[in-house]
């Protein structure tokens, strides 16, 4: 199956330009929290509009295994194309195009951290990580090596049958996002398009033992339990960063 032929689930068309990278996301946990939009707005660049579902903004932590990362036409290489990652994100729009904005992305690959910072202008950090599975339960831990303490430790597992989120639902709004926004040190703003099939989601069970990622970004999460989803695998295409014109919002 050609991944580019699967597009009915998207909120906007696939870019016409050729994609530049392919990768796969594996054993991914979504942990979502609703937050007050006013304090969160202070942490999002001015050219981005904070997206909300009803009255709430949302913040998500997502740990996963990244595999098969490679440029177009180049085979994936062992020890280079696979690593563990966790990101902290919220939901934004720019010029009417919905996407995500990352407060941080941690990975246990120096090459990936350096490359993503340079090419995609993303706030990646090097971290010590472990990711194991035993009897269907996944255990993930991450500890950032620099820029102050930022840790996450959790055990999680899928619960129930997989499903595709229907358009208009909170699950669709949170997960079916097809671009990310970033900015460079000089204030230049970028949009990076991605494409994948519709998420095959499960409800999830999780015990989050430690989570200081949001606090390190000066974001306060509510004390309530997060909304949890799990996905076993998602194959992804990524396009080159598109620089946005000044004043676009």
Could you read off the pLDDT of 223-242 as tens digits, one per residue? 999 999 999 999 999 999 99
CATH code of the domain in which 120 resides = 2.40.400.10
Number of domains in the chain: 1
Whether residue 170 lies inside any domain: the answer is: yes
**6-47 residue pLDDT tens:** 999 999 999 999 999 999 999 999 999 999 999 999 999 999
Number of H helices, E strands in the chain: 4, 13
237: containing domain? 3-13+23-243
pLDDT, the chain, mean: 95
Whether residue 18 lies inside any domain: the answer is: no
What count of residues does the chain have? 249
Whether residue 65 lies inside any domain: the answer is: yes
Q: Give the pLDDT band (50/70/90) at residue 78.
A: confident
| Residue 146 confidence (pLDDT) | 84
Whether residue 249 lies inside any domain: the answer is: no
% of the chain beyond a pLDDT of 70:
98
Q: Give the pLDDT band (50/70/90) at residue 248.
A: low
**How much is the pTM?**
0.95
| CA 139 distance to own-chain centroid | 19
Whether residue 248 lies inside any domain: the answer is: no
Question: In this structure, what are the phi and psi dihedrals at residue 91, rounded to the nearest 5 degrees?
Answer: -120, 130
Q: Which residue is it, tokens 């129930």?
A: 160
- Is 196:3 a contact under the CB 8 Å cutoff? yes
- Sequence-distant (6+) residues with CB within 8 A of 243 are 188, 189, 190
């Amino acid at each position: 199956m050609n991944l580019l032929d699967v597009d009915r689930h998207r909120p906007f068309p696939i870019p016409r330009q050729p994609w530049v990278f392919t990768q796969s996301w594996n054993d991914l946990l979504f942990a979502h929290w609703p937050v007050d939009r006013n304090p969160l707005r202070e942490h999002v660049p001015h050219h981005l509009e904070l997206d909300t579902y009803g009255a709430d903004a949302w913040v998500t932590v997502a740990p996963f295994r990244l595999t098969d990362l490679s440029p177009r036409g180049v085979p994936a290489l062992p020890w280079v194309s696979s690593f563990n990652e966790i990101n902290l994100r919220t939901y934004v729009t720019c010029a009417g195009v919905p996407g995500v904005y990352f407060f941080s992305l941690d990975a246990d690959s120096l090459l990936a951290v350096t490359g993503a910072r340079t090419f995609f202008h993303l706030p990646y950090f090097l971290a010590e990580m472990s990711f194991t599975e035993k009897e269907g339960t996944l255990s993930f831990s991450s500890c950032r090596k620099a820029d102050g303490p930022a840790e996450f430790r959790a055990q999680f597992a899928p619960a129930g049958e997989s499903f595709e989120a229907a358009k208009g639902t909170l699950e669709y709004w949170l997960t079916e996002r097809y671009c990310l926004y970033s900015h460079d040190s000089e204030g230049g703003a970028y949009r990076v398009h991605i494409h994948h099939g519709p998420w095959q989601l499960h409800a999830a069970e999780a015990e989050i033992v430690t989570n200081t990622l949001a606090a390190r970004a000066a974001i306060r999460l509510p004390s309530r339990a997060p909304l949890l989803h799990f996905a076993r695998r998602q194959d992804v295409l990524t396009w080159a960063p598109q620089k946005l014109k000044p004043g676009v919002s």
